A and B are shown apart, each in its own frame.
Chain A
């Protein structure tokens, strides 16, 4: 059933997406404000579920590329949000009919909302990951041979272009160079798919799911029941640790924040290894869960999601693990988003602690 996304639902969408964002994506404030402003000015957006998207629809993902630190200073104009869509439509020679989120988490769950509102196009209730990952090609459509290319990109000055590359990886490399020249905060559109492909390749229902996670947290708080348990139930996951953050170390290498956090309780110490997102949870030497399943840190009282950059000593947190889309657990998917891709020499492990099939070497 398609549904309508209104401005008053954006805060829930952003909070739920921050839960699914597994610590990545940064502060959702600016992205949520942008979506609310766009919905207030242009009216609500129709959200179409994957089972209702017409087979001949033409959809693409819209996302921000660059440094979140830049975006909080050089705020978007909305022109650059729509320009890559228009440029790509021209390149493809057919009108774009639907807008899709590449990921849920941080600004990239709310920028497509703003784009859809301004363009007057429906939004797809789904996304490319069902969580957040740091690189362009890390989406399920890659497994269906859908490429990021042709990739539209634009800045706020009116500069726009379309990259036609051999692989998603090349699209990312070239776009990153343009991104720096254009001021390190640009909008991109890519992963063009017809409706039939989108219905197969995307994670279904992620926008609705985000809103439901947030609503479950709000409802549990109001009913004075445990909001962390409510979030875990919505995620069909489990709480793997509740305790105090006793240590956070971070550094930046290769453009990505890398760090670890230790959470202590009477059962022992749980260690989280994170880059932009949480990637591995370990108790002493035993691996509890790894990417691509979800590792989520929330405030243990309020169940408010905490991003990796906001983690600090003394916080009382709960760590949740939850299943990601089953397709992320195929060997070829694990070689793209499993722990070894991120530089950790461990086998991947499901949210409930069971081992996965070996990834392709």
Chain B
């Protein structure tokens, strides 16, 4: 058996799983500290379905601690950013374009040093160890306790970044964590560097959170390994989280989507999550969320790490409905739904009222909406269905049919058949879907680099890159025979000579510990 836990801003959910079958699930309030919410969730889980600590093979946890720390600009370590690139890049130094509050929260200092590479791997300038030692002295004097290191074209060659990291670590000692950009982001220096600096600022908190999570699990007599969910739905072990906390950022929506898919028995589908104010739509392909193609702004910082592509539209259970035009949202009564909606004795016409009038849901007092004109009700719900269908259509990448899974309290707004897409799947057991999503145990390895493709050797190069991704997945804990390539992408880069191509490969396999 294994356990999936999702620590959200409001609730902490836990599920006990046998393979991919949920045995029990509980929902508890999230605690202000890291541990007590998890301790009580595990205790409640043991009440539902008793288990001994030594029967548990693995614990998988999804958490929003790290992204919330960044958004709230709290508990971030004083951080320095060092970039190798001189004489290039001087016009836009590290931390350029960061919001002032976040800059202050990390007490950010930035430094430029010689180094970096051209697009074809030639060095821009040699590394100057003395220059780096000088920077290390300034960092030490500034009181920074974490350092993000970036280098121009480190996705093409990361040697100088590694060497600079080594020199800085030697000078600064064990108390200062070093994060290297080629391990965190992809092409696009500012965005990769920003993600690296965010990661650096979260390193101290990561140690604290991981210790807290481990203590909570161990307190229940569970000695099994602990894993955390990443943005892409794969897992990382404790040591990895300590080094790369930023990789947990979007695990919330990812786990929600994956949990919805698992409980509905689908692996390729569009997940439509309708809450009180918005409808969030994401796509799962082979059980993994489709990722956004471009830059993602998090807490006002532009980054390019991979996040699930989620489209939000302003339709939810609490959306205001114009009594004349029938238009829905984007304004919503939100959490005040249970006092302001007509069916709850309020005076505001909401989307939930219209759904109740149509007989789609039995909540509140149906008599309070009996006066609504049936033609109006049909028109409003038809419009909601059309807009949701249109949004799903915008999200899919081709005209091929795709199954729809609807979840969330507001999913009562949707009909059983959605225009363009047909039947709507409504999975049971959705209340703890995030925890189920966290418990789906797979690990992955990804390569994303620019290569010069020599004519005639393309096949061999691609085979080598694929093998590298598979090895990475196995190193992360995948059962060797289970590893598959789930994503392959080769994009030629315009205006560059020598057939430069960006190749991206992602391999995923089953986690050894979660076979039972």
Contact = CB atoms under 8 A, between A and B. Distances in A.
B89 A76 contact: yes
B188 interface: yes
A69 B494 contact: yes
Contacts of B118: 74, 183-184
Interface residues of B, number: 38
Nearest to A34: B91
Contacts of B398: 313
A183 B494 CA distance: 14
A184 B492 CA distance: 15
Interface string A310-340: 1011111000000000000000000000000
Nearest to B498: A180
A209 B395 CA distance: 34
Interface string B481-502: 0000000000011111100000
B394 A316 contact: yes
Interface string B141-172: 00000000000110000000000000000000
Contact of B189 (A34, A37, A74, A252): A74
Given A183-B119, A246-B399, A314-B393, A74 B89 contact: yes
B396 interface: yes
A73 B495 contact: no
B453 to A, nearest CB: 12
If over half of B's interface residues share one DSSP class (helix, strand or loop), that class is named, otherwise mixed; here it is loop
A183 B124 CA distance: 9
Contact of B495 (A68, A76, A246, A312): A68
Contacts of B119: 67, 69-70, 73-74, 183-184
Nearest to B92: A75
Interface in B204-223: none
A77 interface: yes
A244 B394 CA distance: 9
A87 interface: no
A79 interface: yes
Interface in A331-352: none
Given A72-B188, A73-B153, A314-B396, A66 B89 contact: no
Contact of A75 (B189, B295, B393, B492): B189
A255 B91 contact: no
Contacts of B152: 73-75
Given A69-B187, A312-B397, A38 B494 contact: no
A255 B495 contact: yes
B92 A34 contact: yes
B493 A37 contact: no
Contacts, number: 117
Nearest to A180: B497
Contact of B124 (A74, A78, A114): A74
A70 B496 contact: yes
A310 B396 CA distance: 15
Interface in A152-186: 156-158, 180, 183-184
Interface in A249-288: 252, 255-257, 276
Given A156-B87, A183-B119, A72 B189 contact: yes
Given A33-B97, A76-B88, A313-B398, A67 B116 contact: no
Nearest to B394: A314
B85 interface: yes
Contacts of B394: 314-316
A211 interface: no
A314 B398 CA distance: 8
A7 interface: no
Given A74-B153, A313-B397, A69 B87 contact: no
Contacts of B396: 313-314
B342 interface: no
A30 interface: yes
Given A76-B88, A313-B397, A256 B494 contact: yes
A159 B189 CA distance: 23
B120 to A, nearest CB: 8
A67 B295 CA distance: 19
A257 B494 contact: yes
Interface string A132-165: 0000000000000000000000001110000000
Contacts of B189: 72-75
B116 A75 contact: no
Nearest to A248: B397
Given A38-B91, A78-B90, A73 B187 contact: yes
Interface of A: 29-30, 33-34, 37-38, 66-70, 72-79, 81, 114, 156-158, 180, 183-184, 244, 246, 252, 255-257, 276, 310, 312-316
27 contacts: A29-B302, A33-B92, A37-B91, A38-B91, A67-B493, A67-B494, A69-B187, A69-B493, A69-B496, A72-B188, A72-B190, A74-B89, A74-B116, A74-B189, A75-B190, A76-B89, A156-B87, A156-B88, A157-B88, A157-B124, A183-B118, A183-B124, A244-B393, A276-B494, A310-B294, A312-B397, A314-B396
Given A67-B495, A76-B91, 9 more contacts: A29-B295, A37-B91, A70-B495, A74-B89, A75-B89, A75-B190, A76-B92, A77-B89, A257-B494
